[in-house]
Structures are given as structure tokens and as C-alpha cells.
Amino acid sequence: MLEAFIAEGVSTIFGYPGGAIMPIYDALYDYHQKLNHILVRHEQGAIHAAQGYARTSGDAGVVFATSGPGATNLVTGLADAMIDSTPVVCITGQVFAHLLGTDAFQETDVINITTPVTKWNYQVTDATEIPSVLAKAFYIAKSGRPGPVLIDITKNAQLQKFDYEGYEKCSHIRSYRPAPIVRKEYVEEAAKLINEAERPFVIFGQGIILGKAEKEFKAFIEKAGIPSAWTIMGMSAIPTNHPLAVGMLGMHGNYGPNLLTNECDVLIAVGMRFDDRVTGRLDKYAKQAKVIHLDIDPSEIDKNVKTTVPVWGDCKETLPILTKLIEPKVYPQWLQKFADCTSKEHEKVIKMELNPCDEELTMGEVIELVNELTKGEAIIVTDVGQHQMVACRYAKYNQSKSNITSGGLGTMGFALPAAIGAKYGDKKRTVVAVIGDGGFQMTLQELGTIMQFEVDIKILILNNQFLGMVRQWQELFHEKRYSFTDITSPDFIQLAKAYRIEGKSVCQREELKSSLEIMLNHKGSYLLEVMVGKENNVFPMVPQGKGVSEVVLCKEDIS
């Protein structure tokens, strides 16, 4: 199995040993110079770290866990990786084959438990299957629309000996077609619609990053001259300061992209899945537009939004064909509408968030200073909550694979272990983990992993002493009935010190910039806690049950 990993180019494994996977760990003892194993403090930390690694490296993350609770502790991460299309290969140990179904010690039916949250899973009971099964696992995880794969290996198979004839990578599986055949007549239809459009609008997602099609996408929008907005997962596919980049879509996205979705005449969706956070009410979404949908996964076409022209295939293949067929154009008046919306949003929201008048620090001004000090070159890993939305709204990026977040599942506790993996995935870049006080406490035990392996990440806790996003909803829609969202936290600085990590807490604006500089320039990991306003809200906002054109800029606009 370890020879298979080396053949697949695996360099780093995140895991936690146990009885049912002990033979694999025994083999790993002789491979520590070829395979770097990171001992996490919880299996959930292992899979989130593997996700972070996959998202920054562009390769599959690898996880080891034992049977029973070890395997079930992976389920949240598997679900997260599944919905966010992250390639992860998980190896779990299992009890002896003859004990399956007997409720043996630390036995769970991991195959049936994980079937809904994996792209493929398989149980090995005979060691002779291991080479071919692992080859399939890596092929399935990384090809087409990526996703998590889990291989459950019984202990007898781990101990069994057989004549190993070498490892052969998999490049084809009967009945599995990772990328559909491109139908050029549909690409031609799409080009015709784009060429005839007066107010075209591009919305793009992570499919561009997963397909390594950033250059092809940039060439497409620049020739077409079309304003383009990103989903939370598509962020950083093009530089955030690109002249045609008009901001983020979604519940807390920018005003213009949300509002003008319902004014465009042709909507071109590239590598995104029209999830509910982007569309709001479907019966009010882009009803006036002809929709072109480019996606590698045919099941996403017409799933939520009816498509006028479907363009199946890998966008790295389909975008260049489409680019050749479209006419070079500019849309100055259409782009001006986005600029006008940005001006309105700046006046009513952004200016107050980035340059507040009162004494309370805002999350936005913290992120703006991070932008200034990192010059858009850092990898920012966010947890889930208000800080996530603020970071995704205001972070600036110059290169792809820079915004690492839990998008589809919204997993609190994601950021700290994912940041560890992100650093191993791209060791040359600064990794900043932006985390709320609630999410941090879900996986803070991974500070032990940082300590043991001396992982250099910068931990930025934006502490509003609330479960902020839930509190915002309670304020706006539940008459300020703050039911169990007021959270008490430990002394994070003393906690970090116990893990030999330097840290500081800041609550004064005049100390903020210098403290961020200390954090970013510190050799090794550093934890900076910033005390921000307790009841600040994230706007704009598309209230639940509303259409995207009903986006509001302040709480007074909510009806």
C-alpha cells in the first residue's frame, strides 16, 4: 500500500493510529523517510488537514484512521469534501473479516455509513486486491469532478502476504466516464447567444480551479469583455482586482452581482452548481435570462436552474473552443451599472466596515490590513460564520488556490486543521487561518499538531464573544431573542502558550496594524486574538426566502 502511495506521488499523510490499522502503521515505520506522516489530535482534524492540502496543492489528500470511532470521526470531513468536490483518499482499518457483522470491538459498518458522503468506497478483505483498489481510488478521487474516496481494509488483509507484482496506475474504469464528451454544436449555440447578448454576465465557481483552467477562463472573459462574479468557492480563480471582476455572489455577496443577476440577458455559469446560497428563491432567479451552463458533471445541468444551452465537459477543454467562436466586445454601459452598484454598496456598507467611526474594531478593517500587509499573496483559510463572510467579501488575492473555506457544508472547526494541511500543500506561501471564537474551540486540540510538527501558520481569531452568524439571524428575524449564542471562551493566549505558540490579544485600533505585522513576521506559528464588536452584522444580505434582486444593504431595509 505504501509503495502505491509513493507511485501516486503522495508525500504527506494525515492520520491517527489504532488497533485495526496497526499493521499499516507498522509498515509506515520503515517508510518515514519517504512518506511524511502528520499525527493529528483527532481524526476530524486529519481529514480537514487533507482537504486543506488538496486545495492548495491541487493533488489528493491522504488520511489514515482506525476502525469504529476512528472511521466515524471522518464522516463530517467526508461530507465536507463531497459537497466541495475535494479529492481525498481515506484508508480506514477494520476488524478481521471473520468478525464482520458480529459487533466486534470497534467495529462499525463504515461502508454503509460513508456511502452517501463519498464518491466511491470499497472494503478490502483480501490483500491481493489492494494494488488495483488503490489505483482506482486515486483515479476516482482526482478525475472528473473530484471527491473523497474511502477504502476500508480488514486486519487480516493487512497481515496477509501475497506475491506483489508491482503497481500500475489506473486510467480507465468501465462504466465510469469522468468527463463527458464535448458536443461542439452546444458550444456553437452558446457562442451565438453570447455574441448576440447586450447584457451578458459570467458567474464562475471552483470548477475553474479544480480544472486548472484559470488561464483559459481569463482569456475567455477578456475577449468577451463580460463582467464576472465568483461564488465563495470560485474566489481567487482570477485576481480579485481584475477589471472584469465585479465581486462575490451569494447571501452576503456584493450588491451588484446579486441585483444585476436579474437584469442580464445571458447568464453564463462556469464550473458552479447554482446552490441555494447563490440563487436565493429559484422562482425569482434570472427568469429573464438565457442560461448557458458549463460543467463537467452532467447531473448539475438543469438540477436547480433550467439551462438554455448546456455545455458538458471539462472547462479546460470547452473554454478555449468557446473563446475561439466568440467576438471581441466591450460593454461600457453594462459595466457602469456594476460600478454604480459598487459605489452605492461602498457608501452604505463598505466605508463603515473598513473605516469605522466608533471605537469598536470591525472584522472588515482587520481583513483590509491583512490585505495591505500580505499584498494579496497569502493563503487565507477561513472557518464558518460572520468572519468567513467578511473575509470572503474583503480579502484580496493575486493567485489561484488562495481562498480555502468550507463552502457547501459550512463546517465549524474546519479552519485550524485545514490551515495545517494548506501549509503542507504549499510551503512557500504564508497561511493565515481566520477563525471565530466559536469555531476555534471545536478543533483547538490541533494546536498540539502545530506544536509537535512546528507548522508555521498564523492564527487570527476574530472574537466577538458570540456565535455571530446565528446571533445576526436572531437579531434580524427573531426579535433579538439571543438563545444560547453568547459564548464564553478561555484565555486563548495562555492556551496557545501551553502549546508553545506565541500570541497576543488586541482590542485597540492603534495597536492593530503593528500586532498584525508581528504575527506575520514571526518565525513559526503565532496566535493573534482581535476583539471586535459584539453585535456587528454582515451586509449586504439576501434574506432567506427572498430573491437575489431583493438584496438589502442594512437591517432597516429588511421587511
- Which three cell numbers, joined as nine digits, stand for 394? 474583503
| Count of Cβ atoms closer than 10 Å to residue 319 Cβ | 26
- CA–CA separation, 453 vs 360, rounded Å? 36
Query: Annotated active-site positions, please?
Result: 43, 105-106, 155, 469
Written as one letter, the residue type at 259 is: L
Q: Starting at the edge strand that comes first in sequence, how are the strands of the sheet with 228-230 ordered?
A: 245-248, 228-230, 200-204, 266-270, 290-295, 309-312
Helix and strand element counts for the chain (H, E): 24, 18
DSSP state of 176: B
Residue 297 sits at the vertex; the CA angle it makes with 295 and 302, to the nearest 5 degrees, is: 75
Residue 434, classed as helix, strand or coil, is strand
**Distance (Å, whole) CA 213 – CA 292:** 18
Q: Which three cell numbers stand for residue 90?
A: 481515506
One-letter identity of residue 537:
N
Burial of residue 249 (CB within 10 Å: 0-12, 13-18, 19+) is buried
Q: Measuring CA to CA, which residue among 15, 13, 24, 148 is closest to residue 94?
A: 24
Helix (H) or strand (E) holding 528: strand 526-531
* Residues listed for the chain: 559
- CA–CA separation, 406 and 411 (whole Å): 6
Pairing of strands 266-270, 200-204: parallel
CA distances from 310 to 219, 296, 330, 536 (A): 21, 11, 24, 42
Residues 6 or more apart whose CB falls under 8 angstroms from that of 317 comprise: 179, 182
Residue 446 Rama label (left phi>0; alpha psi -120 to 50; beta): alpha
* Side-chain-facing half-sphere of 126: CA atoms under 13 Å: 4
CB atoms within 10 A of CB 281: 15
Helix axes 43-57, 415-425, angle to 10 degrees: 40
> How many C-beta neighbours within 10 Å does residue 522 have?
17
Backbone φ and ψ of 334, nearest 5°? -70, -45
CA 277 to chain centre: 15
CB atoms within 10 A of CB 98: 11
- Gyration radius of the chain's alpha carbons: 24
Question: In the beta sheet, which residues pair with residue 379?
Answer: 431
Distance of alpha carbon 198 from alpha carbon 379, whole angstroms: 37
